[in-house]
Amino acid sequence: MSEPRYPNESQEYRDAREALLKDEQELVDKTKALAEKRRGLPLGGELKEDYVFQWANEGKVGEKVKFSELFGDKNSLLLYSFMFGPNWDNPCPNCTSLVDGFDRSWYGVNQQAAFVAIAKAPPERINAWAKQRDWSQIALVSGFESPYQADYKCQEGSDDDMQLPVMHVFTKRDGKIYHFWGTETMSNHVDTVWPFWNLMDFTPEGRPNFETVPQKFRSKFLEENYLNKE
């Protein structure tokens, strides 16, 4: 048995904590093993077309950019599609929570792989939301005039407002672009990189029993068409 480590802790706590530590290490090991399996996937399908998007970052809003150009000098591209349709009042609060974190992680990730967030809303609306949230690093594009979201299952059918949250990864091989991996579960689909839920897991109370992260705004479109949908 290990000796107590923190002020006034009991031996009972230390014993239980040491047992839990073994479980935590097993989880880390399993996550790494899963990532290794993911890296071993065969190539997915070749990119359907070199989609044309519009930049939504300040200073180049509305400028055209091809899918292939999003890679820059990298061979991998993470492309997160967040829920913000053309007729939404506000984006999805959960997606906003994720992109809040992605924006601050962008610089480090971008040293190894291109990292872009896309939404179906027009570029001007994405840019306005980015300024409201103080997103200043992550590359932002609009798929407003592109079939990308429909082709890659980032929306329900042909309805551009029925957006879905999806992380896709693409890779360049021998001058061609291929799909490598994409989330195929909804809800907490990129759980391991979502700060809110993971931080709540560290607390005695655990994860709150609600569907959306607390925000200072509401998304009435989401509430009416997703959360309250029968």
Cα-trace Rg, the chain:
20
Retrieve residue 225's tokens. 């068409």
Cβ contacts of 17 within 8 Å, gap of 6 or more: none
Measured between alpha carbons, how far is 146 from 125 in angstroms, rounded to an integer?
16
Q: How do beta strands 114-119 and 139-142 pair?
A: parallel
pLDDT of residue 64: 98
More confident residue, 12 or 1: 12
Q: Answer yes or no: is pLDDT of 4 > 90.
A: no
pLDDT at 187 exceeding the cut of 70:
no
pLDDT tier, 3 (very low <50, low <70, confident <90, very high otherwise):
confident
Is 211's pLDDT higher than 90? no
pLDDT of residue 76: 98
pLDDT at 105 over 80: yes
Lowest mean pLDDT among 50-59, 114-123, 135-144, 192-201: 192-201
Q: At what angle do helices 123-133 and 93-110 cross, to 10 degrees?
A: 80
Q: Which residues make Cβ contacts (< 8 Å) with residue 84, sequence separation at least 6?
A: 90, 91, 92, 95, 119, 120, 121, 125, 126, 129, 163
pLDDT at 1: 61
Q: What is the mean pLDDT of residues 42-48?
A: 98
Global confidence as pTM? 0.94
